[in-house]
Structure 1
Amino acid sequence: MTHYYDLCCKYRGQVVTIYEKCGKVHVGKIVNVDHQFVYIEPVSGGVAGYGWGLGWGWGFRPFFPIALAAIGGLALGASLFWI
């Protein structure tokens, strides 16, 4: 899990695709990371069934947490990083 923490910290501020072990896919900009969650701001109006109205955030920038333990892979740009 610390590997995903380090990877998410490295790509903070960038748009990524996160693949959960359960099959959910999230696309968004990493806005924050702690030792339990990565927080992403969705792009393109919604991610994996989550609309702009769902999530936590301030003002017009909603974001939602994804548990680091649930991550099965992370893609940045055209490169795919399966861990």
Structure 2
Amino acid sequence: MSRCAHYYNVCSRNQGRNVRIIEHSGRQHAGRIVRVTPSTVYIEGRGPRGGFGGFGYGYYGSYGYRPYVYPVALAAISGFALGALLFW
């Protein structure tokens, strides 16, 4: 099984859960998995840490801040951790 297929299966099984994903480049992503495709996992969080800041889409509505939802390529993942203790 390829690395992408492995992380696709792991992300699919854990959709809706809080995770921390570490890329080969060292960027870390912490958030909730909201969608998984064969090549990308979509994280709802505050944007990557150790990277260029938040990107994706989000808004400030009448109910307050909504976190960004942004994609992470499955091929870029080098580490994956589950749990609610990972958050800021």
Structure 2-normalised TM-score?
0.73
Report the equivalent of 1:81: none
Q: Distance in 1 between matches of 2:77 and 2:42?
A: 12
TM-superposed CA distance for 1:77, in Å, is 1.4
Work out which of the residue numbers 16, 20, 25 in structure 1 matches 2:19: 16
The match for 1:73 among 64, 79, 83 is 79
- Looking at CA atoms only, which structure, 1 or 2, has the larger radius of gyration? 2
| Structure 1 gaps, min length 5 | 79-83
Alignment partners' CA distance in 1, 2:35 and 2:58: 11
Contact 1:57 1:64 survives alignment (8 Å): no
Aligned residues: 74
- Does residue 64 (structure 1) correspond to residue 80 (structure 2)? The answer is no
**2:72 is matched by which residue type in structure 1?**
I
CA contact (8 A) 1:15 1:28 kept: yes
Q: Which contiguous aligned blocks of 4+ residues in structure 1 show a shift greater than 6 angstroms? A: none
- Uncovered stretches (5+) of structure 2, i.e. residues with no partner: none
Structure-1-length-normalised TM-score? 0.77
Distance in 2 between the 1:47 and 1:18 partners?
A: 9
% identical equivalent positions = 47
